[in-house]
Structures are given as C-alpha cells and as structure tokens.
Amino acid sequence: MPHENHPTEMTEATLKRRRFTGAATQLGTEVSINFGSSLAGLVIPVVGSFVVVAVRQFVMLVAVLPFYRPKRAELTWSRLWPAIALGVVLAVMNVAFYEAVHLLGLGIAATIEFLGPLAIALATSRRWLDGVCAAAAGLGVVLLIGPGSSDAAAIDPWGVALALTAAATWALYILLTRRVAVGLPGLEGLTVASIVSLALLVPFAVATFDASAFDWTVVLLLLGVGVLSSALPYSLDTFILRRITPRLYAIITSFGPVIAAIFGWLVLAETFSLVEVIAIAIVCGAAGTAIATQRDRPKSDLEQTAEGIV
C-alpha cells in the first residue's frame, strides 16, 4: 500500500489542506505567544519579571524533559556548549523582553524586538529591495518611539535599551537554535538550554519572590504564560514546519507585532496614536516584503528526498 504522505503520491487537494492546516496552526501559535505575553504584562507588576520568566522556563522544561535521556559519555563541553549558550541567551532574551513590556507596553516592545529576526533575514542579502526594507523597518521604529508617539515624553530609554537587547538576543537565539538542531538529536538541545536558563533565573526569582503577592489568580496567570508562550508553541513547531515552508513560517511570524499590539490593546488597555499604528504596520510590512520576495535556491536531490520522508 503506498504511503499517503509521500509527496509524489499526494493529491493537490491533500497538499493544499496540509499547507492550510500548517499555516493556520502557525497563526494560532503567534496568537498564543502574544496572548501569553499580554498575561505576563498583567502579572509582572505583581511578582516581577524574574519570577515570570522562571515559571515560564519551568513549564517548558516540564514539557520537554520526559523526552530527554542523556548518556553520561555524551555530557561533554564540546558537545553541549551550543545548548548551554542557548540557555544563557534564553534567560537574557526573555527577561529583557518582559521588562521592556513592563516599561514600554507590549505593542512597542514586540515591534522593537522583531528587529532581531529581521536583521538575520537581511544580513546576507545584497538586493536593493532588502536594503529598502531594512531602512523602512528602522524608520518604523524611529516613528514608534519618536515625537509622534502617543506619549513621547514617557518613552523610557531603559525600556528601549531592553527591547533592543531582546532583539539582539532573539537573533542569537535563531543562530544558536540552528546550531543546536544540527548538533544534537531530538529535543536534547532544547532540554539542556531550558535547564541552564532555569538555573540562571532561579536565584534572581528567589531574591525577588514575595509570597504575599501570590494568590490563585496570580498562579493561574503564571501557568497561562508558561503554557501559552512556551509549552504550546514549541510543541507545535515540528507539526507546522512539516506542512509549510520556512519562508511562509517567517512571513506569518512577521505579523507578530500586529498581534502583540492587538493583545496590548485588548488585555493591557494600551492605546496607540495613528503614528504608532503606522509605525507598527511599516515594520511588519518591511519584514513581510523582505521575506516574501526572497528567492529559494534550487534544492538538491538529497534535500528533496529528505522532505519526502518527514
């Protein structure tokens, strides 16, 4: 009996259905991540960023640890250092982003942070269109935090610095994740990174922990952040990337700042001036244009065969 998932034996309708399912799921994960970030915006003023990020990393670790079965001989520095570095980057990236959300609001913080993956997408390009897109994205961020913003005098420079730190570490996260995925099997790299990240965060979380601030509402919010922002999206990524191309995945991700702004408005009661709305649209439009117009290099026979068996 032929295998129904082999691309040469799929009907066009089946391929379209798989692409639609993958794209819809990816859009759902963007909603999940940004809804989780908006819940984090509610609870950060109560318990602090370190506690929120520590709980988020703990939930992710609980989700991936059952699949990690290390062998003592494999626990070497030369093999694990990319995953260890990824854990450090995860800790810095998430704390910087959540602190930026606290100081700037979710919509502005998410838009600035998106400069990180956009920079990765444009870094090796030599096309004039990509240069225009990069300039447009920079202009969008300047408009977002400049005199035309809803309350320019209240834009916190430290919040902007933290959002830029989150952007830089997100770029590092992308590069290290690829290195880890190539060098370590399965979820091993993500598990090691989660352990390192949590180990770094726990001392700060303990130092800022205030038991009197906790009630069942806070606990549920923290668990919601962990599930929506980490456990659910990470668990669905493999499903998604088996159904859509990396380019489509990146294009959908480029709408993250818009989704973040919507949840900032709905959950955190953030308001945006017309200039800020235009600025967010410019950044997303620049990213989407840059990614959508990239040319795919021809795939080798080996790559085509590999795609047929995943």
**Which pLDDT score is estimated for 310?**
34
DSSP state of 127: -
Q: What is the pLDDT of residue 23?
A: 83
Q: How confident is the model at residue 100 (pLDDT cuts 50, 70, 90)?
A: very high
CB within 8 Å of 122: residues ≥ 6 apart: 130, 133, 134, 290
Does residue 238 lie in a domain region?
yes
Q: Is residue 34 part of a domain?
A: yes
* Residue 301 is assigned to a structural domain of this protein: no
Q: What is the pTM of this model?
A: 0.81
Confidence of residue 292 (pLDDT cuts 50, 70, 90): confident
267 vs 297: which has the higher pLDDT: 267
Closest CA to 162 of 230, 213, 100: 100
Per residue in 182-217, is it b (16+ CB within 10 Å) or e — as a string?
eebeebbbbbbbbbbbbebbbebbeeeeeeeeeeee
- Tell me how far apart the terminal alpha carbons of the chain are, to the nearest angstrom: 18
- Does some domain include residue 304? no
What lies within 8 Å, CB to CB, of 145 at 6+ separation is: 108, 112, 152, 155, 160
Could you tell me if 239 and 5 are in contact, meaning their C-beta atoms sit under 8 angstroms apart? no
Does position 149 have pLDDT exceeding 90, yes or no?
Answer: no
The total of structural domains in the chain comes to: 1
Q: Is residue 302 part of a domain?
A: no
Q: What is the pLDDT of residues 28-85, one digit of tens each?
A: 999 999 999 999 999 999 999 999 999 998 988 887 777 666 666 566 666 788 889 9
pLDDT at 128: 82
pLDDT, position 213? 85
Task: Give the separation between CA 52 and CA 220, rounded to whole angstroms.
Answer: 12
> Which residue range(s) make up the domain with 263?
16-296
Closest CA to 193 of 183, 203, 204: 183
Res. 137 pLDDT band, cuts 50 70 90: confident
pLDDT in tens, 178-200: 777 667 766 777 788 888 999 99
Determine, yes or no, domain membership for 306: no
CB 93 within 8 A of CB 261: no
CA distance 121 to 123: 6
Tell me, yes or no, whether 179 lies in a domain: yes
Contact 34, 261 (CB under 8 A): no
Residue 254 in any domain: the answer is yes
